[in-house]
């Protein structure tokens, strides 16, 4: 038994000696130093055109023709759709007939007035007869003017049955079809002009106190990189009761028309900056839902790897903001972490 204990003791001492003699692994490190970091929050925003016009009819009726298709570029005044004008044409025809009748009545009243004036001058009729003839003439004239006004109104309304583009631009989606019945509440299509867009950002009411005109906004592309920069240009004074958010807007130049109306994009609202330590994403490991990183700590004449539990903040670019777990001046191991164990000898390399 004594021999066995002796052998066990020799094996234990030999293992410790072997670990102590392990060569230090070269590892890249980054010295933790606080630097100015933007404090930001990402939101999903909808892009709206500042030069987009919604087209709705001014009359009720059934669509009989659609002259354009989505994506067509049109000029102001270009016909877009035709609404069946038959009923309105009948009304206009009726008013035309009424005007013709009023013109005939006026001509009769004019002739009667002329004859009455001659008879009055000859002393054949009394002044009352002349006054009555004058009154009939004036009434006929007024009725004709009213009829002419009705005819003009009907012809103006007749023009509304042909829907035209109010401005130049590109035709948007056309949700209606030939045969559909439309009203002034129906959106027929849109005409969009290229140019500046506005990002509609719904900010939770809890964060609305930090909103201010001029706050920087970054529009992110599909790759997560900044595609455009802007600033808050409008803050709604009211809270959306349904979503409990406050609407903020930011203008976007949209050079090259890379973004489109009604597109959903990710935006980053930058609230300000503060000193903070950051750590590269690749230096962070996750174990059982917790985050860790290796730190090169001095040990004797060299360094050893020590695992630290971290509390991380937001991801900014390719680095996390470190809320706790790393102190300024410590050496963060940023590579070869999968080959390290607790207490492994390391040789830091900047």
Nearest in space to 248 (alpha carbons), one of 227, 269, 262? 269
| Closest by Cα among 254, 259, 201 to 232 | 201
Sign of the CA dihedral with 165 first, then 171, 175, and 179 last:
positive
Statement to judge: residues 196 and 48 lie in one domain: yes
Q: What is the pLDDT of residue 34?
A: 92
Task: Please tell me the pTM assigned to this model.
Answer: 0.54
Same domain, 264 and 195: yes
197 plus 264 within the same structural domain: yes
Q: Which domain holds residue 183?
A: 59-83+161-188
The answer to whether residues 241 and 290 belong to one domain is no
Block residue for tokens 């001046």: 329
Task: Confirm whether 9 is domain-assigned.
Answer: no
Give me the sheet containing 52-55, strands edge to edge.
Answer: 52-55, 189-192, 169-171, 73-74
- The neighbour count for residue 261, using CB atoms within 10 Å, is 20
Assigned token pair, 122 = 């000859």
**Single residue among 274, 293, 317 that ends a domain in this structure:** 274
Last residue of a domain, one of 247, 274, 301: 274
DSSP H stretches of helix in 169-266: none
Helices (H), the chain: 2-20, 86-121, 127-159
Q: Which two tokens stand for residue 253?
A: 């130049």
| Interatomic CA distance for residues 240 and 315, integer angstroms | 29
319-324 and 302-316: which strand pairing? Answer: antiparallel
Are 175 and 213 found together in one domain? no
Separation CA 195–CA 51 (nearest Å) = 7
Which CATH number is 264's domain given? 2.40.30.170
H/E element, 348: strand 345-349
Provide the domain count of the chain. 4
Residues 47 and 93 in one domain: no
Read off the CATH number of the domain in which 171 is found. Answer: 2.40.50.100
Question: How far is residue 341's CA from residue 211's CA, in Å, rounded to a whole number?
Answer: 46
In a domain, 12, yes or no: no
Do 122 and 169 sit in the same domain of this protein?
Answer: no
Asked if residue 333 lies in contact with residue 27, where contact means CB atoms within 8 angstroms, the answer is yes
Sequential pLDDT tens for the chain (350 residues): 343 434 334 444 433 333 456 788 999 999 999 988 888 888 999 998 877 888 999 999 999 999 999 989 999 999 999 999 988 888 888 999 999 999 999 999 999 999 999 998 988 889 999 999 999 999 999 999 999 999 998 888 889 999 999 988 889 889 999 999 999 999 999 998 777 889 999 999 998 899 999 999 999 888 878 888 999 999 999 999 999 999 999 998 877 677 777 889 999 999 888 899 999 998 999 988 899 999 999 998 899 999 999 998 878 778 888 989 999 999 999 988 888 888 899 999 87
Please indicate, yes or no, if residue 290 is contained in any of the structural domains. Answer: yes
């Amino acid at each position: 038994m004594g021999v066995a204990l002796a052998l066990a003791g020799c094996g234990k001492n030999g293992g410790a000696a072997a670990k102590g003699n392990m060569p230090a692994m070269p590892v890249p490190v980054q010295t933790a130093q606080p630097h100015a970091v933007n404090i930001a929050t990402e939101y999903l925003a909808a892009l709206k055109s500042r030069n987009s016009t919604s087209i709705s009819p001014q009359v009720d009726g059934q669509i009989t023709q659609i002259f354009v298709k989505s994506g067509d570029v049109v000029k102001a005044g270009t016909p877009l759709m035709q609404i069946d004008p038959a009923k309105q044409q009948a009304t206009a025809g009726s008013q035309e007939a009424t005007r013709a009748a009023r013109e005939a009545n006026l001509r009769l009243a004019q002739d009667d007035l002329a004859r009455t004036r001659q008879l009055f001058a000859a002393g054949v009729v009394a002044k009352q007869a002349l006054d009555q003839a004058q009154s009939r003439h004036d009434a006929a004239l007024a009725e004709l003017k009213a009829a002419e006004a009705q005819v003009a109104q009907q012809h103006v309304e007749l023009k509304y049955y042909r829907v035209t583009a109010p401005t130049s631009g590109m035709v948007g989606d056309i949700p209606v079809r030939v045969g559909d019945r439309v009203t002034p509440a129906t959106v027929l299509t849109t005409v969009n002009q290229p140019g500046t867009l506005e990002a509609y950002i719904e900010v939770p009411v809890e964060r609305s106190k930090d909103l201010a005109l001029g706050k920087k906004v970054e529009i992110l592309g599909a790759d997560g990189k900044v595609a455009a920069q802007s600033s808050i240009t409008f803050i709604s004074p009211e809270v959306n009761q349904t979503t409990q958010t406050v609407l903020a807007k930011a203008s976007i130049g949209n050079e090259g028309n890379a973004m489109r109306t009604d597109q959903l994009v990710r935006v980053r609202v930058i609230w300000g900056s503060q000193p903070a330590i950051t750590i590269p994403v690749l230096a962070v490991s996750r174990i059982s839902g917790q985050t860790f990183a290796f730190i090169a700590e001095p040990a004797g004449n060299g360094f050893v790897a020590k695992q630290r539990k971290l509390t991380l903040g937001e991801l900014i670019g390719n680095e996390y903001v470190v809320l706790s777990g790393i102190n300024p001046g410590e050496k963060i191991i940023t590579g070869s972490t999968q080959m390290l164990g607790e207490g492994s000898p390391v040789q830091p390399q900047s």
